[in-house]
Structure 1
Amino acid sequence: MCPLCCVFIPEACPEGLFGARCEELCDCGDNVSCHHVTGVCDCPLGWRGRRCEKACLPGFFGKNCASRCACPPGVPCHHVTGQCGCPPGLTGSGCEKPCLPGTFGEGCAHICQCSGATQECHPVTGACVCPPGFHGPSCQLECSPGWYGRDCERQCQCRNGGRCDTATGMCHCPAGFIGADCGTGCPAGRYGQDCAGLCPCGAGVPCHPVTGDCVCPPGRAGPACEQGCEKHRYGPGCQQRCSCRNGGLCDTADGSCSCAPGWTGKSCELECPPGWFGAACQLRCSCLHNATCEPATGTCRCPAGHYGPLCEHSCAPGFHGQGCRERCDCEHGAGCDPATGRCRCPPGLRGERCHTGCEEGTYGEGCQHLCDCPSGVPCDPATGRCLCPPGKTGPTCAADCRPSRFGPDCRLPCQCAPSSSYCNARNGQCLCLNGHTGATCREATQSLPPTRPPPPPEELWPVEE
């Protein structure tokens, strides 16, 4: 057997690796290979240095910068080709540098004729490179409404009349709307710009998302829906007249009648039939000696607040007093004591008729409790829960929103793209990081050299995966 047949001829390492076992990485510039054994960079024409990061010295060009230029004195030569004089768009002793911003052409001697602050143009042709938000031959035209970005080629995504930033595509929402694309209406109880206004309408009553005007439900009236309908009136705006008779109570919302004891019928127009008495005529009389019972109470004189054969029945809801003939004079659906008629106000209301809400800073039954909220933050008059402003949450509104939440009491989910944006904890607007744009930062821009993003403002958070 030939001894040469046993000689091992090693294969070259894959590109980008070198060393005995091809485990070491080449430390050269982009698209520059290295020697598979030593790791020495194989510099392309016109470049030198340990990592091929330097152009040839003035007067030299070519492979390993070993060739000397043959140009007249004072005339540079191209560090790659050796051609005398720099081609349009390049400058420097070796023609290795592009024209400075604002210049172009042969010798970079021409000034860009572009509008705007950037004055950026193509280094060879001088064609204007418009910044985001502008277009036209000299970048003198702003984007038309509904368009944004470089050369105004991207269509805005704002909804509900939101105004689109011509440079970034960020949506500026009108009053009554929030979110990255202004697609979210104000939460219940909020109105105005960034939904920062607190509706003055009381618990359960909505307000107009733009103006804050209270939208009163049927049976309520007044600027803050704090008033009930006048007697014998009901419905939206209290415009309809009740048909209840014989002391029947009219539901201020739908006009239905709650009849006084001893009466029945749709309008309380029918007296109880013989042998029956009480609310809705549901009780059978049990008087002694076959006496006929009084249709309202069914018994003799009972103490105030009671009726029936043995005075064992309390007055029907909404009535009180001797013979249960007196109606409770309470508002907002509050009940009253069947004996005295004194209104029993639910939490968040006070006054003889439960017609007044709690004073600012108080809540609960009888408004006897003090709110435990920071200065300027109101609390729910019924529960005492702090009504946190946009960007804040927690029992006392001391906590900031989690990165993926925003808005009043941090109740809304951010719509910004994960890992490529910051979410404004107050209004949900997205601040895009490098390489992304649009209302939710899900659109890629033209490739740019990587840079470290600026730290977010205090009210912005990076969006979680």
Structure 2
Amino acid sequence: MFSDILCVILFCTLHFIASSSELQPGMPNVCADQEMSMLGARQPCVQAFTRMVKVWKQGCNSHRWCMGYERRTAYYTVYRQVYNMDTHTVYKCCPGWRQDGKEMGCLHRVCSANTCFNGGQCAETGDKICQCPLGFKGTQCQYDVNECERDEGGCEGFCCNTIGSFYCKCPEGSRLGPDGRVCHDVNECEELNGGCQQTCVDTPGSHHCECNEGFRMHSDGRTCIAVNSCSVLNGGCEHKCVDTGNNNYKCECRKNYQLKRDGRHCEYTRVHCSCRPGFTLAADGKNCEGIEMEIVNSCEKINGGCSHHCEHTTNGPLCSCNHGYQLALDRKTYSDECVSGGACCRHFCRNYPGGYECSCRAGHRLNPDGCGCDDVDECLAETSGCEHDCVNTLGTYECFCELGFRLDQDQHSCIYLLFRKVPQLLQYTAALHSRYVSDEDDSDGGDREVEIQRGRRGELRLSSSIVCLDGSFGDDCSVSCEDCDHGVCSENRDQCECAAGWTGIICNKTCSQGTYGPACNSLCRCQNGGSCDPVTGKCVCPPGVQGLLCEDGCPRGHFGMHCRRKCNCPNNGHCHRLYGGCLCSPGLYGRLCHLCEYQ
């Protein structure tokens, strides 16, 4: 009896020792996993079969016994092999851990080729599995380090975190120093005078423009406008200077004088007297005397010369206009606000029955007053498309490239320059000149005075003179003969000689309207609004105009004999040279050419 009890205790102890090395839930770094196994077993199956056996039977006919057959069924047992899927829970070391010997759990880390992320390496010593590179952390280097959380990464401006690293940014108006962390102020006035027309004032992180005495700042913050144009040397007018508002002015002449084509000087005009119909000029050349004549309807012949309505009176035809029109100075034909000068439009004026509408040149937008035009700062609106720098000007803008780059043919992109030798600038001079010099200005001493007047009004432009060395040329000595696009280099290798139809420093610009031929040096002789082919100079005539030089026709807005009658076409458009019907330009259609095919 005692021996049996001893055997049971010994068996239980051995079983406990054997099971203690197995992994159990709750042990360090032990994870549960589901395993599937297939179990086979013998399954009994009872089968039956039937057969006929011979038997002796009694009472068979005349015999007492006879041989017969009976059906007998027999049963037997057979076995077949069946399989069942069994799912059970097993406990293993979690990924990255292993069990050494009979330890109570998984206490040792495991590192393989795919254990560490983001360039981490398996740690050979210490408690860490992976040795992480700068910018990453975690047991497997799986987390990014946000360097900006601590002291903004040492950046003086802004710290920008990236995956595995970071970088510093500076506020607008300053740039990073060589250490990549400290910000230094940028003096915007050093480059192109900061875009200012007159004075540029640099401030920490920014700059602003100022104007000289007698000028005020335009809404673009860069251009200077004369405070009162007439207050500066009478606006350049010979007689009277009249301010028209919005810092505009015009010149007028005294009685018996009329304004010359230059818009500033006046010339004397002789006065000739004439009489109304039914009267004749007296011998003194001033008074009118009545004449006897047969009373006829003065409106019968060519409608009395009236454009719209004619009413016969004793003094002759009395003309009137349809609604929305007014009589011109001849008191017969009609005029509109745009022609008569009654419109307030600063740039363009479009008349329609009952009123008119103002519009502006490209690069300007209509002022809320419906009359004036304000410059659009394409650089501020980020619509310029300049790759590097943008400088706004009145009505347009211009792109510039940083040092070491030059402007591409599209005048927006910048191309890196690989200099064989650094270009040397021998001399740079700048002077202020008038932006608008009329071809019709007098060539006497008054030109100099007008030039000074315009300079004081702020109508200035910056011109430069640069002398280049080592076969380079251009405004900044950044181009050479290899850059000539549609042309060849000159004999002295100091400029590009452009082919027909091309111009510009590197022959990358087509001829402007009115010029053609090699380097666009030939002037177009086309008449009546015709334009030249930039290569051959052949005239391309507008609608309704014909001839080798477009001489057979009328200029825009006129028709009839001697082209004296005015068309009623929108935007002063072309009309048939005989009948006055509106002729639409390409892309427009409709009775008044007011519909666009591309809308």
**TM-score (normalised: structure 1):** 0.25
Q: Which has the higher helix share?
A: 2
Who wins on radius of gyration, i.e. which is larger? 2
Q: Which has the higher strand share?
A: 2
**TM-score (normalised: structure 2):** 0.21
Greater length-normalized contact order (CA 8 Å, ≥ 6 residues apart): 1
